[in-house]
Amino acid sequence: MNITIIGTGYVGLVSGTCFAETGITVTCVDVDQKKIDNLNQGIIPIYEPGLTPMVQKNMEKGRLFFSTSLKDSIAEADAVFIAVGTPPDEDGSADLQYVLGVAREIGKHSDHYMVIVTKSTVPIGTAEKVKAAIQDELDKRKQDIPFDVASNPEFLKEGAAIDDFLKPDRVVIGTESERAQKVMKKLYKPFLMNNHPVIFMDIPSAEMTKYAANSMLATKISFMNDIANLCEIVGADVNNVRRGIGSDTRIGHKFIYPGTGYGGSCFPKDVQALVKTSEQNGHPLEILKSVELVNNRQKSVLYRKMMTHFNGNLKGKKIAIWGLSFKPNTDDMREAPALVIIDKLLKEGAEVVAYDPVAMEECHHKIGDSIGYAKDQYEALIDADALVVVTEWNEFKVPNFRVMEKLLKNKLIFDGRNIYDIEELIENEYTYYSIGRKAISAVHEAASK
Ligand code: UDX
């Protein structure tokens, strides 16, 4: 089998590499010459655990290639995956110009039967548009070359993408012909053989499944965040509530951890796009509008706690931030809560010093020297008025509180991910704010240096 993946962003690169890992010959295509040159030297543009050695291995095995030529790369392809970006338009709907541009290119150069698969998250009805664009180009060439379209949304989590691809909970494939289904079955044969569910369905349902899955997960998170906020008011502890409800297998323990709001490249964009689609179709999904609203509010929850603690005056305060990426094990800062918190702190006249195990370069790229960057987590604390934990990297979970108190000006922590035990903080005499749990106020804070 021979496939082409168009777009070497996160989805394209991980999918292409993992397909190569199953023995398929894969060419990944991108218009960015520099990126392709780098990839050809085994230099990977994204941070994803395990990806670099897998790319290098499959290149050495002669199964994974990188090219800027769409025309050459599809010459022998059984299937072409479109994995280019679909950034949100000003109004929140997905911008399809890149997807449809690729479809036209395929139509211009196709000379044999292929299945054209949308892998990017695309609005319902996009496969139809892809089909029309390809057909239009074929018509212009007066060529009668058969092709099929299919939808095969990805469900990769950053930081765990390789496992998610190779050991998926399910693979969803939308097709409209037996011929296309046969090609897709062959491609996913290793998954079928390993009993990973491969669910075939019609194309609109496959397109909808991706949005519905991400929106459901985002809903779980926003629901828990709002429950957490209410827990604080009524004196409940959201950790107990989470364990209590998660034990019901119908609810489950996953994705009910409250925090500083969801970020990343998928949830915010997909929720927004589905809201838009629902409105355009005269059936506004009110529940999702609330999910979005709650999430935007949640990104400021730590800031509000800080304002209250410091009596509305953060001017001149030095705030240490642990964690910048939108979640651990990635350097991705798209829609990261840290950006919202930093922006608000700087506007209030606070000084910010941050540390993140991998996302500092990315942060610098985004906001430059408006904040300080510490060389390790403890350096960030030197003379800080407070520590704010925004991302739950493992290395922040068991810190040395005794060392910390020597560096911090106040023994004061705002924990946006509930990574510390309240008892532990009481024992160490810290003032501690978290999400959905009672705040503890140490008398010692004022007395510390
Ligand atoms: C998500 C989906 O999980 C994946 O299936 C889809 O293909 C792409 O979008 P990703 O954005 O990489 O993946 O991250 P994920 O691990 O799902 O986390 C998303 C956000 O939700 C993060 O900001 C995370 O901190 C937050 N989150 C997650 C919570 O706040 N609480 C939770 O319980 C789980």
Give CA 318 to chain center in angstroms.
Answer: 30
What are 266's strand-pairing partners? Answer: none
Fold of 301-447: Rossmann fold (3.40.50)
Q: How far is the CA of 152 from the centre of ligand 1 (A)?
A: 20
Range 134-144 average pLDDT: 97
Nearest residue (by CA) to ligand 1, atom 19, is 262
Nearest residue (by CA) to ligand 1, atom 1, is 157
Q: Which of 176-180, 265-269, 376-380 has the least mean pLDDT?
A: 265-269
Range 86-111 average pLDDT: 91
Q: How far is the CA of 262 from the centre of ligand 1 (A)?
A: 7
How much of the chain is helix, strand and coil, in % rounded to 5?
Answer: 45, 15, 40
- List, as own/partner pairs, every contact residues 43-46 make where C-beta atoms lie below 8 angstroms and the sequence separation is at least 24, other chains included: 44/13, 45/8, 45/13, 46/9, 46/10, 46/13, 46/331
Pocket test for ligand 1, best of 86, 267, 299 (most atoms within 8 A of CB): 267
- Residue 92, pLDDT > 90, answer no
Ligand 1 atom nearest residue 259's Cα: 30
CA distances from 374 to 81, 84, 328, 339, 354 (A): 41, 35, 18, 17, 6
Residue 266 annotated to the active site? yes
Eight-class DSSP state of 126:
H
Q: Which CATH number fits domain 2-201: 3.30.230.10, 3.90.550.10, 2.40.50.140, 3.40.50.720?
A: 3.40.50.720
pLDDT in tens, 232-281: 999 999 999 999 999 999 999 999 999 999 999 899 999 999 999 999 99
Q: Which residues contact 259 (CB under 8 A, 6 or more apart)?
A: 221, 225, 298, 337, 392, 416, 417, 418, 435
What is the DSSP code string of 250-303? TT-STT----S---SSSHHHHHHHHHHHHHHTT---HHHHHHHHHHHHHTTHHH
- Contact present, 64 and 42 (Cβ < 8 Å): no
pLDDT band for 443, please (50, 70, 90 cuts): low
Q: What is the pTM of this model?
A: 0.93
Ligand 1 pocket (Cβ < 6 Å) reads 154-158, 214, 217, 221, 255-257, 259, 262-264, 266-267, 326-327
Q: How far is the CA of 274 from the centre of ligand 1 (A)?
A: 17
- Residue 132, pLDDT > 70, answer yes
pLDDT in tens, 185-226: 999 999 888 888 999 999 999 999 999 999 999 999 999 999
Q: Residue for token digits 């398929």?
A: 24
Q: In CATH, what number does 211-298 get?
A: 3.40.50.720
pLDDT band for 88, please (50, 70, 90 cuts): confident
**Lookup: tokens for 71:** 């025309």
> Identical fold at 2-201 and 301-447?
yes
Nearest residue (by CA) to ligand 1, atom 17, is 157
Distance CA 123, CA 98 (A): 13
- Residue 371, pLDDT > 60, answer yes
- What mean pLDDT value characterizes the chain? 95
pLDDT in tens, 112-126: 999 999 998 899 999
Report percent pLDDT > 90 for the chain: 91
- Residue 446, pLDDT > 50, answer no
Q: How far apart are the first and last CA of the chain?
A: 67
Check 18, 28, 266, 363 and give the catalytic one: 266
Residue 49 — left, alpha, or beta (φ > 0 → left; ψ -120 to 50 → alpha)? beta
- Residue 442, pLDDT > 90, answer no
- Residue 447, pLDDT > 50, answer no
Ligand 1 atom nearest residue 254's Cα: 33
Report percent pLDDT > 70 for the chain: 98
Q: Residue for token digits 């074929």?
A: 138
**Lookup: tokens for 396:** 């922040």
The candidate with the shortest Cα–Cα distance to 386, out of 305, 295, 318, is: 318
Pocket test for ligand 1, best of 327, 334, 418 (most atoms within 8 A of CB): 327
Q: Which residues contact 346 (CB under 8 A, 6 or more apart)?
A: 352, 370, 371
Distance CA 356, CA 200 (A): 41
3-state secondary structure of 366: helix
- Residue 444, pLDDT > 60, answer no
**Lookup: tokens for 234:** 């009524």
- Global ipTM: 0.95
What phi and psi, each to the nearest 5 degrees, are found at residue 117?
-110, 130
Q: How far is the CA of 157 from the centre of ligand 1 (A)?
A: 7
**Lookup: tokens for 187:** 């491609």
Return the pLDDT at 199.
Answer: 96
Q: How far is the CA of 195 from the centre of ligand 1 (A)?
A: 25
- Residue 98, pLDDT > 60, answer yes
Nearest residue (by CA) to ligand 1, atom 24, is 262
pLDDT in tens, 385-416: 999 999 999 999 999 999 999 999 999 999 99
Domain ranges of the chain: 2-201, 211-298, 301-447
pLDDT in tens, 43-65: 999 989 999 999 999 999 999 99
Ligand 1 atom nearest residue 261's Cα: 30
- Contact present, 384 and 408 (Cβ < 8 Å): yes
pLDDT band for 355, please (50, 70, 90 cuts): very high
Pocket test for ligand 1, best of 172, 211, 266 (most atoms within 8 A of CB): 266
pLDDT in tens, 277-336: 999 999 999 999 999 999 999 999 999 999 999 999 999 999 999 999 999 999 999 999
Nearest residue (by CA) to ligand 1, atom 5, is 155
The candidate with the shortest Cα–Cα distance to 212, out of 285, 296, 295, is: 285
- Residue 449, pLDDT > 70, answer no
CB-count exposure of residue 297 (10 Å: 0-12, 13-18, 19+)? middle
Q: How far is the CA of 104 from the centre of ligand 1 (A)?
A: 33
- Residue 84, pLDDT > 90, answer yes
Beta-sheet pairing, 114-118 with 79-82: parallel
